[in-house]
Structure 1
């Protein structure tokens, strides 16, 4: 790697340019995309209110305005930070509290707007760049070429941009796993040095300090996302295999430090285990509707989105052209890594890619849940670093023709990333919005009508989607929300009444009670919206009466 130690001026300029573009994209149009189902739950957890409290106050068969939702969407005077933590512990322990604590403090300073809460993730995402630089330095021991290309690819990666603008914990999780992984590699490198070499090296961090950093970052990572346990498992496999499965001093130190990190997480993992057993003993095992996708199309789609994503259907000709090229580059980069680096480098990245993703893949016999996509974040990171190594190496290839080909490939990857970020940053909805993908279109349909009333219940995904729609609907829209599919009492004075995702029996019961019919005005794979209209017989009778009155 001697030729990789110093990057030419053009590469430095390119890295700085792409980094600047990536930062601009992260803060552009933060409130432009729909504030979707999962993000409204983030704001609800931050508020400290429980779902049962919200149902009692607004899902009570009374007509309310959109302003009624704001009280449960962020920091407020009625609930404290302790309420935020306790709400997570009681209702959603599988989401550890660290991000929500930070977000609560952030919103108390900057307010509860969509821009404010999403800007927290945007600022956190800036920490990814120095962290990935450190990780690549420890892996490849070069100052700029590979780390610089990795930073550039991360800056314009569309899948990184998605989570840099989400009011969720996943970008913070990425920072924590980068820090823990880099500190682990640093500690292992220092452990492998001779004691005399270690003593004479200037400005060398103390081993105890580095191992302490790993323990702290491991605990922080676990308190950010429970899936960090599988990242830690990847670390265990890597450390033991690097020691050739011998119980060396490095292995002993690592196991002790890891134990400290997990012990720090014990208070929360106890809550998670208790909730799991309570779920098994409970008679109510209903879950929100989940949407499954075959594993291989899912993986193909997600791997492509690391570098190219303009939210097209898989059957689109552009996707059919670009996706195979990107998959070939990813596959070749993994083979190239294994053939040209030593065991400790390529095995670390392979375990980093495979181990956290393997439980998701093995459990997907009937199809993989789309909601599990963020948990592939370590795999995305490992692939991006692998491709960065390939590109940084091949643009220095001794063969002029091969060097030109790889410079063209690198240009293609960069152009795909820039186009994807531009399209994504200007869109009002995106594939990651899941069950709320169609909310902007539904909001336009309702906003175009006069005196509209939106009727819904709290079952399934309706609860979070109604909160999401409250950000999009105009102030003239009123809400009539009921619990447990009670028959709504629809008052007079509303010219247009809409039913949001009603079950067929509930919709038919409403039709019979009010002697009306329902016409579907929107439908997708997640939900449907219906409009109450006069039945044909009643409409025809009114027309006949009007004609009779006119003739008289």
Structure 2
């Protein structure tokens, strides 16, 4: 195998630059196009609650304060900025209601929404804007890793049209920001090792701190960095290793104020994340297969899937026509990349990117296999892996197009163009879609709103559970006129006489069981493709003859 130094000396060919610039332009267009078209999912609705300055306690109080029916528009104030509440109230929401999410993104998006509006498209536009910084970030990391502009150009092209990147660029959550920070912190580490000085280590410390204040899984990235430094320093306690340890400690110390204030609310965080701890997968082979299939969605995705909370076979990742080729492709890709990297004369160029993607991912898979759960197949938790894959694929392709063998160059050029076109096809599909498979609750919200809109004088019964409240906040964007009946288990609400269709999203209430015994109503379960945990039930009033 030719030495990687040949690649470092190569200049990007003109055709590659022109091609990548065109696809970056298309990628930017798709990031900002149709920002308000897709259903605003439950997670995004909680983002709007955060920037409104209200808390979950206030939401629950809103439900318990009403004995009769209310309009769903009552909850509009929790989806828009309250001028009497500021950034401090957004931070207070996170501390008391959503403590597993650090405040950096939410503070930034609150300030952004004050300027550009708090509509779904206005809030999502911040993620789209932040996603633009991924291009210079991945280019810098490629230069630090491989000293090769060619790799950087190809990586920018792949990321520009990646359907996975496009999805997170249009989601009102912190993941676009986190990806930029993963790339920048990794590049800053390599620069600090290469040029030992205080400024570079301070920059690295700052990137780690920003990452920790964006997503707590940055800890896994830091550990991957630490393993790299230990191996790179040949397991000796050197000045470089000492600097890494000091910087990591400094980053944790800067996070400490946040950890101290959220510790009293840790039980809330456990309640919010408990759904991922449930063992929805039937066996470990199914978990691994789904994990592998989703690797392909980094490059090509036609939105072929069903809800992750209803697994019973691989067909739920789409049809077998899609799942089996995707599984074969993923296995082949991982095997080839592994063999390619092992055969490299200099392993140091690829070790960091291998650890960055492999360590967090493998840790989550092992944890799920031991304790059960679906954390490892949540794409937002696997972003270090997907970024690493895009960079490694870019490196392999750049390596081959720089070789003297014409057939290798031609095949690599063909694959580059093929991957870019595959990504573009996926982006067009995303552009046309009303919802995407990664938002597991969206399809159910869409179908619930359609069913209720078709009903005469509907009434939706709600309670103050977080799942129920999240669904109501999302439905408020699409059912502006529906009436709600808030209930609590300690009292039985009376049903308004003019309600002919009464809907429940959960059955664990006294009112539900009371209506089951009522001969005036007939009960049926609505078939929802991707139901909430307990589906949707309808009591239809029987006309008396």
What residue in structure 2 maps to residue 221 of structure 1? 211
Q: In the alignment, what sits opposite 2:303?
A: 311
2:280 matched to 1:292?
Answer: yes
Runs (4+) of structure 1 exceeding 4 A deviation are 284-291
Q: Displacement of 1:213 after TM fit?
A: 0.8
Paired position in structure 2 for 1:375: 381
Matched ranges for 1:92-491 at <5 A: 92-142=98-148, 144-191=149-196, 207-276=197-266, 287=274, 290=278, 292-293=280-281, 294-313=286-305, 314=317, 315-340=319-344, 342-365=346-369, 366-369=372-375, 372-459=378-465, 461-473=467-479, 475-484=480-489, 486-491=491-496
Equivalents in 1 of 2:34, 2:491: separation in Å? Answer: 40
Q: Which residue of 1 aligns with 2:16?
A: 11
TM-score of the aligned structures, taking structure 1 as reference length: 0.87
| 1:56-84 deviation digits (Å, cap 9, x = unpaired) | 11453432223222201132123222121
SS in 2 for 1:292: coil
Matched residues in 2 for 1:356 and 1:325: separation?
A: 22
Change (3 A) 1:8 1:161: same
Inter-CA distance 513–37: structure 2 relative to 1 (3 Å threshold): same
Larger displacement relative to structure 2 (212-221 or 321-330): 321-330
- Provide the residue aligned with 1:45 in structure 2: 50
Name the stretch that deviates more: 230-239 or 70-79. 70-79
Partner of residue 201, structure 1? none
The number of aligned residues is 518
> CA 1:395 to 1:286, structure 2 compared with 1: closer, same or farther past 3 Å?
closer
| CA contact 2:368–2:376 (8 Å) conserved in 1 | no
500-509 or 117-126, larger mean C-alpha shift: 500-509
> Once the 2 structures are TM-superposed, how far is the Cα of residue 495 of structure 1 from its aligned partner?
4.1
Tell me what 2:309 maps to: none
Q: d(CA) in 1 for partners of 2:366 and 2:211?
A: 24
SS, match of residue 224 in structure 1: coil
* Residue 91 (1) aligns with residue 87 (2): no
Q: Which moved more, 1:72-81 or 1:102-111?
A: 72-81
Mapped contact 2:296–2:329 kept (Cα < 8 A): no
Q: Is the 8 A contact 1:222 1:229 kept in 2?
A: yes
Deviations along 1:489-523, one digit per CA (max 9) or x if unpaired, are 32233443322333486533223357312222233
Q: Which residue of 2 aligns with 1:533?
A: 540
1:483 CA displacement? 3.6
Q: CA deviation at 1:402?
A: 3.1
Q: Is the 8 A contact 1:337 1:389 kept in 2?
A: no
Equivalent position of 1:548 in the other structure: none
Provide the rounded CA distance (Å) in 1 between the counterparts of 2:225 and 2:426: 33
Counterpart-to-counterpart distance in 2, 1:288 and 1:321: 30
Distance between the aligned counterparts of 2:304 and 2:272, measured in 1?
Answer: 36
Aligned CA-pair RMSD: 2.5
What is the TM-score when the length of structure 2 is the normalising length? 0.89
Aligned residue number for residue 202 of structure 1: none
- Partner residue in 2 for 1:20: 25
Structure 1 17/56 Cα, relative in aligned 2: closer, same or farther at 3 Å? same
Shift of 1:525: 5.0
SS in 2 for 1:453: strand
CA–CA distance in 2 between the matches of 1:484 and 1:422?
48
Confirm or deny that 1:29 pairs with 2:34: yes
Over residues 284-335 of structure 1, what are the superposed CA-to-partner deviations in whole Å (9 max), with x where a residue is unaligned? 9994585733420231122111111112143341343344235423431232
Superposed CA deviations along residues 15-63 of structure 1, whole A, max 9, x for unmatched, are 1011111111111111111111111111112222221211211453432
Instruction: Provide Cα deviations, 1:245-303, integer angstroms capped at 9, x if missing partner.
Output: 11111112222222222211111122344444x679x9x99945857334202311221
For residues 355 and 371 of structure 1, the distance between their equivalents in structure 2, rounded to whole angstroms, comes to 15
Residue of 80, 84, 105 corresponding to 1:78: 84
Q: Deviations over 1:65-112 (max 9, x none)?
A: 232222011321232221211221122221101111111111122221
- Secondary structure of the residue aligned to 2:425 is helix
**5+ residue gaps, structure 1:** 192-206, 543-552
Q: Is the 1:288–1:461 contact (alpha carbons within 8 Å) kept by the matching residues of 2?
A: no
Query: Per the alignment, do residues 338 and 107 of structure 1 end up closer, same or farther by CA in structure 2, a change over 3 Å counting?
Result: same
Compared with structure 1, are the counterparts of its residues 172 and 291 closer, same or farther at alpha carbon in structure 2 (3 Å cutoff)?
farther
The structural deviation recorded for 1:421 is: 1.4
The structure-2 alpha-carbon separation of the partners of 1:14 and 1:486, relative to structure 1 and needing over 3 Å to count, comes to: farther
